[in-house]
Amino acid sequence: MIVRWLLGLYPRGWRDRYGAEVSALVANEPVTIRLILDLFAGAVDARLHPQPVFRRTPSAGQESFTMSTIFAHCTPVDVTRADAWRSAGLMIALSVVVAGVYIWLKRTLGENAFLDALAAAFFPIAALGSSWDTYLKPYSFAAKVSIVSATAFVVLLISLLASFLSEAI
């Protein structure tokens, strides 16, 4: 169900040409966060960088692109030691900044359930941001921004909803 919805995010020409092939390719795969991120990032990339859709021609006998070349950006790439250190440094820096902002807001606003809910969301968001050069490395800049901002929004929404429900009870 979610795979079909994610494939609906791709441009129509792309779906007409590759939709059935990708559906068959992922039909036996478990729906994981990685699969969802790959399909979402591919859709963002397909929208931002449209490619001509190649068709099989009788004289050529081959397609100009295969799914393996189209989705090559979705395969994990080697993460260097520098990437890992940069990711760790970013995680520490984001955690320190967010903790400082939280402490300042807590002193300014006092006890506040919504602020505490946001504090619970800060660590997952910092971890997500630190994955920029590691887990998200193979994605384009636009796809990275989309993945990080959409996931951060969902994490914040869940935290605020939990806070709201706890205040209502």
> Which tens digits make up the pLDDT trace of 115-151?
888 888 888 888 888 888 887 887 888 888 888 889 8
- Whether 13 and 70 share a structural domain: yes
User: pLDDT tens across 40-87, in order?
Assistant: 888 888 888 776 554 444 444 444 445 554 445 444 467 788 888 888
- Whether 16 and 67 share a structural domain: yes
- Whether 147 and 128 share a structural domain: yes
Mean pLDDT on 148-155: 89
* 165: pLDDT strictly greater than 50: yes
Of the residues 74, 94, 116, which one is the last residue of a structural domain?
74
Among candidates 9, 59, 58, which has minimal Cα distance to 38? 9
Three-state DSSP string of 54-101: CCCCCCCCCCCCCHHHHCHHHCCCCCCHHHHHHHHHHHHHHHHHHHHH
Of the residues 48, 74, 100, which one is the last residue of a structural domain?
74
Q: What is residue 107's predicted lDDT score, i.e. its pLDDT?
A: 92
Residue with tokens 């559906």, as numbered in its chain: 23
- Whether 87 and 69 share a structural domain: no
Structural domain total, the chain: 2
- Whether 69 and 90 share a structural domain: no
Mean pLDDT on 100-109: 90
Domain residue limits at 121: 81-168
- Whether 41 and 108 share a structural domain: no
- Whether 59 and 103 share a structural domain: no
Q: What is residue 16's predicted lDDT score, i.e. its pLDDT?
A: 86
pTM assigned to the model: 0.52
Of the residues 74, 94, 119, which one is the last residue of a structural domain?
74
- Whether 66 and 85 share a structural domain: no
- Whether 52 and 29 share a structural domain: yes
- Whether 48 and 121 share a structural domain: no
Mean pLDDT on 28-42: 86
